């Protein structure tokens, strides 16, 4: 993917989040890594009018390398960069305050279920990392405890962050987390969700985790290979 194609894809993902009710006009941000640099959505720009030219280019310390006049990177930029630092395999980060997932974060509850087959096979348990003030380094202090084997985390009192070695996949995790949270909420309104048979549940969780860890390790290996000078 070229630089321009990646920037177009970032904007397309942001607009898709907006259309799907995962972000409001001014909140949520998406970033991607490209050749040792990063592109991130600008702060305080409506998703409706965002274009690839509006994305901000930054380095790994958060210094702005390129920005259109008057635009600034999201205030949550350092949180994105911490994910890239901790996980060299990650190529894209999606952060939003999608309503159902964020409701779990507000209650300090992980998104987990012993009833849903798909979530145990794909996302696994989505943990909650401790609260930190947005825009400060305290927001990501709990990341290192859980980031190694997960693809999504809830930020206490705040929202959701997902990440992957591919932008489309990072978006898919965010969409899946929101849908899972919504379904669990509805199921609990209707009645008492029925657990899967214990042995089957354990098998699904183990299989799902091994697939996630395998993918992470494969991408980490590729990232190391790319970063080693020849
Ligand atoms: Zn946020």
pLDDT tens digits, the chain, 230 residues: what are they? Answer: 899 999 999 999 999 999 999 998 778 999 999 999 999 999 989 988 999 999 999 999 999 999 998 899 988 999 999 999 999 999 999 999 999 999 999 999 999 999 999 888 888 899 999 998 887 888 888 898 999 889 999 999 999 999 999 999 999 999 999 999 999 999 999 999 999 999 999 999 999 999 988 988 998 888 887 765 54
Distance 76 CA to ligand 1 centre (A): 7
Distance 160 CA to ligand 1 centre (A): 8
Distance 193 CA to ligand 1 centre (A): 31
Q: How far, in Å, are 79, 136, 143, 228 from residue 132 at the CA level?
A: 11, 7, 11, 34
Distance 57 CA to ligand 1 centre (A): 19
Place of tokens 């987990």: 112
Distance 120 CA to ligand 1 centre (A): 26
Give the range of the structural domain holding residue 84, as residue numbers without chain letter. Answer: 3-227
Distance 103 CA to ligand 1 centre (A): 13
Distance 53 CA to ligand 1 centre (A): 22
pLDDT of residue 225: 79
Distance 1 CA to ligand 1 centre (A): 28
Q: How many CB atoms lie within 10 A of CB 180?
A: 23
Place of tokens 């907006």: 18
Number of domains in the chain: 1
Q: How many CB atoms lie within 10 A of CB 172?
A: 18
Query: Each residue of 4-36: pLDDT tens digit?
Result: 999 999 999 999 999 999 998 778 999 999 999
pLDDT of residue 185: 96
Distance 85 CA to ligand 1 centre (A): 19
Strand positions, DSSP E, 97-202: 128-129, 152-155, 159-164
Give the chain's end-to-end CA distance (angstroms, integer): 23
Distance 158 CA to ligand 1 centre (A): 6
* CATH number of the domain to which 21 belongs: 3.40.225.10
Name which of 136, 32, 149, 8 is nearest 78 in CA terms: 136
Distance 102 CA to ligand 1 centre (A): 10
pLDDT of residue 227: 63
Distance 111 CA to ligand 1 centre (A): 18
In the numeric block, which tokens belong to residue 171? Answer: 């978006």
Distance 146 CA to ligand 1 centre (A): 19
Distance 92 CA to ligand 1 centre (A): 16
Distance 225 CA to ligand 1 centre (A): 33
């Amino acid at each position: 993917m070229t630089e321009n194609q990646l920037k177009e894809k970032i904007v397309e993902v942001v607009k898709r989040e907006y259309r799907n009710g995962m972000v409001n006009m001014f909140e949520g941000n998406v970033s991607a890594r490209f050749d040792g640099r990063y592109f991130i959505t600008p702060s305080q720009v409506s998703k409706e009018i965002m274009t690839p030219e509006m994305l901000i280019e930054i380095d790994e310390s958060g210094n702005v390398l390129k920005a259109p006049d008057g635009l600034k990177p999201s205030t949550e930029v350092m949180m994105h960069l911490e994910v890239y630092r901790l996980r060299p395999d990650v190529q894209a980060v999606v952060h939003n305050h999608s309503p159902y997932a964020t409701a779990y974060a507000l209650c300090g509850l992980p998104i987990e279920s012993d009833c849903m087959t798909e979530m145990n096979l794909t996302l696994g348990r989505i943990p909650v990392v401790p609260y930190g003030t947005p825009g400060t380094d305290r927001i990501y202090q709990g990341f290192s405890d859980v980031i190694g084997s997960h693809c999504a985390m809830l930020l206490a009192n705040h929202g959701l962050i997902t990440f992957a070695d591919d932008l489309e996949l990072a978006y898919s995790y965010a969409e899946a987390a929101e849908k899972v949270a919504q379904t669990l909420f509805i199921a609990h309104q209707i009645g008492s969700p029925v657990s899967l048979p214990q042995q089957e549940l354990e098998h699904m969780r183990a299989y799902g985790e091994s697939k996630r860890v395998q993918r992470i390790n494969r991408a980490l290996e590729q990232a190391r290979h790319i970063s080693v000078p020849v």
